[in-house]
Structure 1
Amino acid sequence: MALRNVIGLDHVVIAVRDLDAAAKSWEALGFTMSPRGTHSAHMGSGNYTMMLGDDYMELLGVLVPTDHNAGLRAFLEGREGLDRAAFTATDAAAGAEEVRARGLAATGPVAFGRPVPLPGGGEAEARFNVFQWPRDQRPAGLGIFACQHLTRENVWIPELQSHANGATRIVRIEVLAKDPEAAAAHLAKLIDRAAEREADGAFRVPSGSTRGDFVFLDRATLAARHPGVALDGLPEEGGAALVLGTKDMAAAAKALGTAKGATVAAAPSRATGVLLRFVPA
């Protein structure tokens, strides 16, 4: 039975070494960037977000080393790119208890916040409650946690949801795995859902509701799904690609500078270690 208090993909965390430089790279791909945020002191991190419809992408970097961001720092020692995925929690405390009841040592919830500069002037606060699955439970190297938004109106700001590339949602996260079937089964167990084999041999795990899916695949399958796109910089195992829905494929192609007839995508070298692909929403 699916978790009652965890309802699907909320956002992805893209770990970056230089927050401001990363924001400029993604802005050049047609995204409207939120103002830079600074998390609570115990977290020691800062971020930029790219807000979509019901989900979003977060660029996350270390501002001050703390115990809390040790995992992020360890990831960045190896590479930039897709580090973690967050699920929407309707009740973080109850969600953590559900996970514990399944024999997994969830941690949290932890409360934190960050100031949000408003487009019309002034400042609000975004507040969250977060819990994590055990840190050693990373299917194919991808971490997972759950986030309860206490102030959604201060995160999903309409002016920040309009992008030159027409992006509207995360369709799927593609994760490189040495054993895609086992990695998909691992995630499916953690979130109490079922993995499904796709025609090309990849394995898909729905995140819940109408939110984006997780797809586990090998390198050859990833290359076949994104013809003509260089895979340089992607890990042997771990989060590799984001496939986004756009309401305007022509706008997405223009933003990425894609030649006519080519795959509307950006190589990892242009998107801080993430292969970025657009498809019709």
Structure 2
Amino acid sequence: MRRTALLSTLTTAALAATIAAATPASAVNTYNAQPAPERTEVGALLVQWDQDGDAATPDVVDWYCSGTMIDRDVFLTAAHCTTDWAPGARFYVSLADDVDGALAAARSAGLGPEEVAAAVGVEGVAHTNPAYPGNSANAQDIAVVTFDGAQAAELDRRWDFTPATLPTAGQLDAIGSRALDTSRWEVVGYGTEEATRGPGGQVHLGGGVRMKAELGFNALNKTWVRLAMNESRGYGGACYGDSGGPNFVTIDGQRILAATTITGDAPCYATNVVYRMDTPTARDFLAEFVDLP
């Protein structure tokens, strides 16, 4: 899920309807995780929006989710990251390794929210799956941000990246659970750390820096993959702010963006539940924006 700075506007009801007893996920844990400066196709979704009701003067800009470039002009993320914003919200993508640091530098230079957004990211147009929030069997939790020619050229000017490889139709089913269990899974994102105890209860610190962690395979469902984050097994995982970010699986030496982070356990210790990109519904949506393998 997108990170918790906007709990009052999060789509918690919709997500609760999609997976009973689960809470939206978003970040890479501190345990068994490493920085991921080389994963330049993975970026942060920034939102510039109005907090005080005066849409003429947007007063907030920050990063809220993760995602991946799947073409030179298409950024893949989650639908719950692009919904429930105040009217007039604008969406930007940054492929910076340290997006929190970039935001802090822009703010310290005395820039206003609109200038900060433009300095740190490139503005695009968000397209949310109209079928979202779907149901428990298929949440339809997928969205993209697209960029016109000038915006795509600006992305290329600022960052060197190779778009991620999407799976073919039904590829995870064809591979099968046994082979997926022996394959390497890796989550990448900008999210916060796992829960720690603070003065007011559990808190999630950190976030804003691109990180990666290996996960274990648990189960393949019709539209979901369930991945293990257990520290004792040498795995890390996702937490708040990693929503929409990629979960890669390596098959025959090829890294495939198999699924995107959507939800998991509230303290971010055990399970990452990710939305498959090889299903008919995900592919039907994506086909409007990219050429699919």
TM-score by length of 2: 0.34
Task: Kindly indicate whether structure 1 or structure 2 has the higher relative contact order, using CA contacts under 8 Å at least 6 residues apart.
Answer: 2
